[in-house]
Chain A
Amino acid sequence: MSRFSGFFSSSIGKKMTVALTGLFLCIFLVVHLWGNLQLFYADEGFALNKYTVFMTTNPLIKFISYVLYFSILWHAFKGLHLAWQNRRARPVRYAVTNGKANSIWASRNMGLLGTVILVFLAVHLTNFWAEYHWGELPYTKYVVDLGTGEILGTEDVTGQGYSEKGFVLTDIENEQEIHVYKDMYKVVEAGFQQPLIVLLYLVSMIALGFHLRHGFQSSFQSMGLNHPKYNGAIRWVGTVIFGILIPIGFATMPIYFYFFHTT
């Protein structure tokens, strides 16, 4: 076996690829959260719908999204493969184990937590990503003042023969811009009215928090980065930012739409 393919099939090579794809997914989460916070603008989805067109058409973003799909699949299936191999390494189990005496709960349950997140992803992508690409979406027209950028009016234009993701017309005479978008905002609004979906999202965000609380710092160790100089900083970012703040940030969306949002 060549040393290159040998690396990827070795125990260390495998965990390094899981670590690298995991860190890439962490960066994605930050961008995804930042973009989705536009749901909270009181503009009937104008900013979010415009952003969605950008995110699904920009060539660079498109390229990164393919890297993302690959990373998700690699991280999930390599992770499950490792978990399966690890179970096989102990064919006879202990009658008594005391894991909490020597390790944190999240670190011992990454396979379980990851599986919850994988199920969540399947539902999440079906509800929003697939729906946006192939579903019958409502269309909304926004009239925007050219000078101030203020939204002067919105109109539901569903069923008027639009098929593009969105377009902008400039009305020089009235100093207005007419934006017509596939209305992703309404899809999100409707999705988060379903209690089971909201519950799944909240449970999954808790799982994500625990997964990242171990996973973020663990990926640095797998990459060989372990030094008292920066271990504390890595642990802090993994626990506070990725373990707590980011999952809470995502969880605010279903909570807001289910409990506080009125259409």
Chain B
Amino acid sequence: MKLTLKVWRQKNREAKGAFETHQIDGISPDMSFLEMFDVLNEKLINEGKEPIAFDHDCREGICGTCSMFINGRPHGPKRGITTCQLHMRSFQDGDTIVVEPWRAGPFPVIKDLVVDRSAFDRIIASGGFVSVNTGNAQDANSIPVAKEDADDAFDAAACIGCGACVAACKNASAMLFVSAKMSQLAHLPQGQPERRRRALAMVAQMDKEGFGNCTNTYACEAECPKLISVSNIALMNREYLGATVKSDE
């Protein structure tokens, strides 16, 4: 395959970035999008140029590290997959592909296609955890969990925190991510002791980071590689309202 790539290049956080155009040839349709970038970077290195910086880790769609806004969509044109699972057969020979980093105030570009997503870490640190007492682990069956709750918690827990929801949202809102993290704990007995505190703290941190407000376009759900449902956002709205009414904080 022969492709034209328009890639965002930016030296560092402060620098002003710009698009750079690359022609690339000999790409196999069975390569992943990241492998195509590997080929391009090898070419750049051989030419003595700076390779394009991009995030990647597991390359099997479960770590949430890879990003890339491809032709106007996070993780490219396919539904329910990350960029590392996107294959070049999803494109036509001769295509021009525009690749940008995630764009959001709270996700500043570090270099080229790499953005700083530590805002997500700070939201988790604010309340996305459960306190566990030390000692022997309880027998699993001593805490009954309804099958429906276990399913809902598991579906929410599938979130890999990649940030595609923020990238897709026209408001750069992080509500799908935050709601998934809140929901997985709100559905389980282990999440109950800190439930109200968690709802208030995570929303406060989310707002403090400067993410936008949700206007229910549901672009996040459509673009989420793990197909997290916006029903989690409705749950978070209920959690937050309930916590406001009931919490002593």
Give the interface of A toward B (CB within 8 A).
3-4, 6-7, 10-16, 82, 85-86, 88-99, 101-104, 107-108, 110, 214, 217-218, 221-227
B58–chain A nearest beta-carbon distance, Å: 25
Indicate which residue in B71, B200, B234 contacts A98 across the interface (CB closer than 8 Å).
B71
Known: A89-B210, A224-B235, A227-B231. A103 touches B71 (CB 8 A): no
Known: A223-B237, A224-B237. A107 touches B244 (CB 8 A): no
Known: A99-B219, A226-B231, A226-B234. A89 touches B71 (CB 8 A): no
Indicate which residue in B104, B215, B247 contacts A82 across the interface (CB closer than 8 Å).
B215
Q: Mark B209-249, 1 if CB is under 8 A from A, else 0.
A: 01111111111001100000011011111101100100101
Cα A94 to Cα B8 in complex, Å, equals: 10
B230–chain A nearest beta-carbon distance, Å: 7
Cα A217 to Cα B206 in complex, Å, equals: 24
For A86, the chain B residues whose CB sits under 8 A away are 170-173, 212-213, 215
A111–chain B nearest beta-carbon distance, Å: 9
Cα A3 to Cα B242 in complex, Å, equals: 12
Asked if B230 and A226 sit within 8 Å, CB to CB, the answer is yes
Asked if B241 and A11 sit within 8 Å, CB to CB, the answer is no
For A98, the chain B residues whose CB sits under 8 A away are 71-73
For A91, the chain B residues whose CB sits under 8 A away are 105
Asked if B249 and A107 sit within 8 Å, CB to CB, the answer is no
Known: A3-B200, A86-B173, A102-B222. A224 touches B238 (CB 8 A): yes
Asked if A107 and B240 sit within 8 Å, CB to CB, the answer is no
For A225, the chain B residues whose CB sits under 8 A away are 234
Asked if A90 and B212 sit within 8 Å, CB to CB, the answer is yes
Cα A217 to Cα B223 in complex, Å, equals: 20
For B223, the chain A residues whose CB sits under 8 A away are 102
For B91, the chain A residues whose CB sits under 8 A away are none
Q: Mark B66-95, 1 if CB is under 8 A from A, else 0.
A: 000101110001000000000000000000
Judge whether B168 is part of the interface by a CB distance below 8 angstroms: yes
For A3, the chain B residues whose CB sits under 8 A away are 200, 244, 247, 249
For A11, the chain B residues whose CB sits under 8 A away are 173, 175, 203, 206-207, 211-214
Give the interface of B toward A (CB within 8 A).
19, 69, 71-73, 77, 98, 100, 103-106, 109, 168, 170-173, 175, 200, 203-204, 206-207, 210-219, 222-223, 230-231, 233-238, 240-241, 244, 247, 249
Asked if A107 and B216 sit within 8 Å, CB to CB, the answer is yes
For B219, the chain A residues whose CB sits under 8 A away are 99, 102-103
Q: Which applies to chain A's interface (DSSP): helix, strand, loop or mixed?
A: helix
Asked if A10 and B240 sit within 8 Å, CB to CB, the answer is yes
For B249, the chain A residues whose CB sits under 8 A away are 3
B222: nearest chain-A partner, CB-CB? A102
For B238, the chain A residues whose CB sits under 8 A away are 224
Q: Which applies to chain B's interface (DSSP): helix, strand, loop or mixed?
A: mixed
B216: nearest chain-A partner, CB-CB? A218
Indicate which residue in B103, B212, B233, B241 contacts A92 across the interface (CB closer than 8 Å).
B103
B73–chain A nearest beta-carbon distance, Å: 5
Cα A82 to Cα B216 in complex, Å, equals: 13
Indicate which residue in B71, B215, B231 contacts A107 across the interface (CB closer than 8 Å).
B215
Asked if A10 and B203 sit within 8 Å, CB to CB, the answer is yes
B239: nearest chain-A partner, CB-CB? A224
Cα A97 to Cα B223 in complex, Å, equals: 13
Asked if A101 and B72 sit within 8 Å, CB to CB, the answer is yes
For B233, the chain A residues whose CB sits under 8 A away are 221, 226
11 interchain pairs (CB within 8 A)? A3-B249, A12-B203, A12-B236, A13-B240, A88-B212, A90-B103, A96-B98, A99-B170, A214-B216, A221-B234, A224-B234
Known: A82-B213, A89-B173, A99-B170. A94 touches B100 (CB 8 A): yes
For A102, the chain B residues whose CB sits under 8 A away are 73, 168, 217-219, 222-223
Asked if A96 and B100 sit within 8 Å, CB to CB, the answer is yes
B122–chain A nearest beta-carbon distance, Å: 16
For B200, the chain A residues whose CB sits under 8 A away are 3
B221: nearest chain-A partner, CB-CB? A102
